[in-house]
């Protein structure tokens, strides 16, 4: 039996798959023996160790194949945050003799932005590359920003808040022409749309497992052969001496299975989710005359939508909490993080031109493998109902177009 949002959440509807996904039952099944039967340390020479080593290397090869890499180019990490930290800090250290300039897009995930802020304190020069109002980087501005001292360009493949997809092939070509390394954070795109390290021309690529129905706490960094990088973790020499710690075999096995399922189901899932997303867009536009989409309408992930209501931005959190009481989980992007005590305005939404007030008021709906058409219909009905009651309480007016 497949686990779905209803069985998992006791009749709740989960529309926050960009934050994390549930573990697919098929993934859980393949992980189980590695907790209690094949539990060896992959560095041990006995039976238990060699069995663990065997499955470690098979899993590495399976995941590497999904992105067109050699298995020797894929290093397991604890997740996207670690991979991104490693890519930036590891290249910064290894290439500081060439220069100290790094370029990242202004809409990167916090784990890239905050790593760059830390690197700036360490004496590196960071350019935060602006994006257009549709959330896509301006390639001319990238070309202008690169200098002979630029050691790394890092631009994410798809954005976690607004779902927009960057032209990474073009960015890869620009980096190659200018002799600078190119890293891309593919945590949101891997498993949902094709990610090919050779087509993209990346030297480093971040992926993780918990966005693709795999376990949390496991990810990987692709490092193209010949790329000089310093390790973050020093120790017993695992992962070819580049990332020491005993490998998390159950999580790695689960990650590989999750990746395999995504590859098998990618085409049909992408088509299904695109249809659901487009239905949602047209429902929102036809029901709310003051609604607007954040980020490009077409250059976006299949199941991802970020939208706002003009003049209603201040009430978004209240709206989300009421929806949650009704059993529907959606997000307000970065503003919905319980770690964000100050409820800061989203740097991504500000980068696409929203003012700080507007940038606190977006709704992110991210659909996934277990989202059904009926989930989307229930969400729409609940949104209309909630919005109507809130607008009549706060202004005595309605903003519905019908
Ligand atoms: C684009 C992006 N990068 C990095 C991360 C961090 O990944 P992890 O939670 O595996 O550390 C996330 C997850 O929130 C993400 O969406």
What would the two tokens of residue 244 be? 């020491």
82 within some domain: yes
Whether the pLDDT of residue 7 is over 80: the answer is no
Same domain, residue pair 204 and 329: no
For range 68-78, the mean pLDDT: 98
Looking at the structure of the chain, the number of domains it has is 2
User: Range with the lowest mean pLDDT among 9-18, 61-70, 271-280?
Assistant: 9-18
133 within some domain: yes
Q: Side-chain half-sphere of 3: how many Cα atoms within 13 Å?
A: 15
pLDDT in the model for residue 9: 59
402 within some domain: no
Residue 346 near residue 334, CB atoms below 8 Å = yes
Give me the percent of the chain exceeding a pLDDT of 70: 92
Tens of pLDDT, residue by residue over 214-245, are 999 999 999 999 999 999 999 999 999 999 99
Our answer on whether the CB atom of 183 is closer than 6 Å to any ligand 1 atom is no
Same domain, residue pair 145 and 32: yes
Atom of ligand 1 nearest to the CA of 111: 4
Atom of ligand 1 nearest to the CA of 211: 13
- Contacts for 251 with CB less than 8 Å, ≥ 6 apart: 31, 209, 214, 215, 217, 218
Our answer on whether the CB atom of 108 is closer than 6 Å to any ligand 1 atom is no
Our answer on whether the CB atom of 156 is closer than 6 Å to any ligand 1 atom is yes
For range 144-151, the mean pLDDT: 98
CATH number, residue 348: 3.90.1150.10
Using 50, 70 and 90 to split pLDDT, how confident is the model at 389?
A: confident
Torsion angle defined by CA atoms of residues 160, 74, 181 and 143, in that order, rounded to the nearest 10 degrees: -40
pLDDT in the model for residue 393: 61
Pairing, β 101-105 against β 125-129: parallel
The residue whose CA is least distant from atom 8 of ligand 1 is 80
pTM recorded for the entire structure: 0.94
For range 385-398, the mean pLDDT: 69
pLDDT in the model for residue 399: 47
Residue for token digits 């899932």? 269
Residues forming the active site:
336
Report the separation in Å between the CA atom of 109 and the middle of ligand 1, taken as the mean of its atom positions.
7
Same domain, residue pair 49 and 14: no
Mutational pocket test of ligand 1: of 111, 189, 252, 254, the residue with most ligand atoms within 8 Å of the beta carbon: 111
Q: What value does the CA radius of gyration of the chain take, rounded to a whole number of Å? A: 22
pLDDT in the model for residue 333: 63
The residue whose CA is least distant from atom 5 of ligand 1 is 80
Residue for token digits 């490998």? 247
pLDDT in the model for residue 342: 59
CA distances from 5 to 125, 244, 401 (A): 45, 36, 32
400 within some domain: no
363 within some domain: yes
Same domain, residue pair 222 and 129: yes
Same domain, residue pair 228 and 316: no
Same domain, residue pair 40 and 149: yes
Same domain, residue pair 110 and 231: yes
Atom of ligand 1 nearest to the CA of 208: 10
190 within some domain: yes
| CA–CA gap between residue 87 and residue 89 (Å, rounded) | 6
Same domain, residue pair 11 and 60: no
Same domain, residue pair 216 and 86: yes
Residue ending a domain, among 228, 260, 292, is 260
Residue ending a domain, among 244, 260, 276, is 260
Atom of ligand 1 nearest to the CA of 82: 11
Q: List the strands of the sheet with 362-366, edge to edge.
A: 291-293, 304-309, 362-366
pLDDT in the model for residue 146: 98
DSSP lists the bridge partners of residue 221 as 75, 206
Domain with 150 in it: 25-260
For range 336-360, the mean pLDDT: 82
Same domain, residue pair 251 and 347: no
Report the separation in Å between the CA atom of 180 and the middle of ligand 1, taken as the mean of its atom positions.
24
CATH number, residue 130: 3.40.640.10
Report the separation in Å between the CA atom of 31 and the middle of ligand 1, taken as the mean of its atom positions.
22
**Mean pLDDT score of the chain, rounded to an integer?**
93
Our answer on whether the CB atom of 346 is closer than 6 Å to any ligand 1 atom is no
Whether the pLDDT of residue 6 is over 90: the answer is no
Our answer on whether the CB atom of 105 is closer than 6 Å to any ligand 1 atom is no
| CA–CA gap between residue 44 and residue 37 (Å, rounded) | 15
Same domain, residue pair 189 and 81: yes
For range 373-385, the mean pLDDT: 96
274 within some domain: yes
Same domain, residue pair 153 and 222: yes
Report the separation in Å between the CA atom of 208 and the middle of ligand 1, taken as the mean of its atom positions.
7
Residue ranges in 122-248 assigned as alpha helix (H): 139-145, 168-177, 197-200
Please state, as a whole number, how many other Cβ atoms lie within 10 Å of the Cβ of residue 376: 20
Residue ending a domain, among 216, 243, 260, is 260
Whether the pLDDT of residue 83 is over 70: the answer is yes
Residue 328 near residue 386, CB atoms below 8 Å = no
Tens of pLDDT, residue by residue over 15-70, are 999 999 999 999 999 999 999 999 999 999 999 999 999 999 999 999 999 999 99
pLDDT in the model for residue 395: 56
34 within some domain: yes
């Amino acid at each position: 039996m497949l686990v779905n949002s209803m069985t998992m959440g006791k009749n709740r509807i989960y529309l926050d798959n960009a934050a994390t996904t549930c573990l697919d039952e098929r993934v859980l099944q393949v992980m189980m023996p590695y907790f209690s039967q094949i539990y060896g340390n992959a560095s041990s020479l006995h039976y238990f160790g060699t069995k663990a080593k065997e499955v470690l290397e098979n899993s590495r090869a399976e995941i590497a194949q999904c992105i067109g890499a050699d298995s020797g180019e894929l290093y397991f990490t604890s997740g996207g945050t670690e991979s991104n930290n490693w890519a930036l800090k590891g290249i910064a250290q290894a290439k500081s003799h060439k220069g100290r300039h790094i370029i990242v897009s202004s809409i990167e995930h916090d784990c890239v932005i905050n790593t760059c802020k830390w690197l700036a304190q360490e004496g590196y020069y960071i350019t935060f590359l602006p994006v257009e109002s549709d959330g896509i980087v301006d390639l001319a501005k990238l070309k202008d920003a690169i200098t002979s001292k630029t050691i790394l360009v890092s631009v994410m493949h798809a954005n976690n808040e607004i779902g927009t997809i960057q032209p990474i092939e073009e960015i890869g070509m620009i980096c190659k022409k200018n002799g600078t390394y190119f890293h891309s954070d593919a945590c949101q795109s891997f498993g949902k749309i094709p990610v090919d390290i050779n087509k993209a021309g990346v030297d480093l690529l971040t992926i993780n497992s918990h966005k693709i129905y795999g376990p949390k706490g496991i990810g990987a960094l692709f490092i193209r052969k010949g790329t000089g990088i310093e390790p973050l973790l020093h120790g017993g020499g695992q992962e070819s001496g580049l990332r020491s710690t005993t490998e998390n075999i159950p999580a790695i096995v689960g990650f590989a299975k999750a990746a395999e399922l995504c590859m098998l189901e990618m085409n049909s899932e992408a088509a299904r989710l695109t249809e659901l997303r487009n239905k949602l867009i047209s429902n929102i536009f036809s029901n709310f005359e003051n609604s607007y989409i954040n980020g490009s309408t077409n250059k976006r992930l299949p199941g991802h939508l970020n939208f706002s209501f003009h003049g209603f931005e201040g009430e978004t959190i209240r709206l989300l909490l009421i929806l949650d009481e009704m059993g529907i989980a959606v997000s307000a992007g970065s503003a919905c993080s319980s770690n964000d005590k100050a409820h800061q305005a989203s740097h991504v939404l500000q980068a696409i031109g929203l003012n700080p007030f507007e940038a606190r008021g977006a709704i992110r709906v991210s659909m996934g493998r277990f989202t059904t058409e009926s989930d989307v219909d229930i969400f729409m009905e609940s949104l209309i109902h909630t919005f109507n009651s809130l607008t009549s309480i706060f202004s005595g007016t309605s903003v519905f177009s019908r």
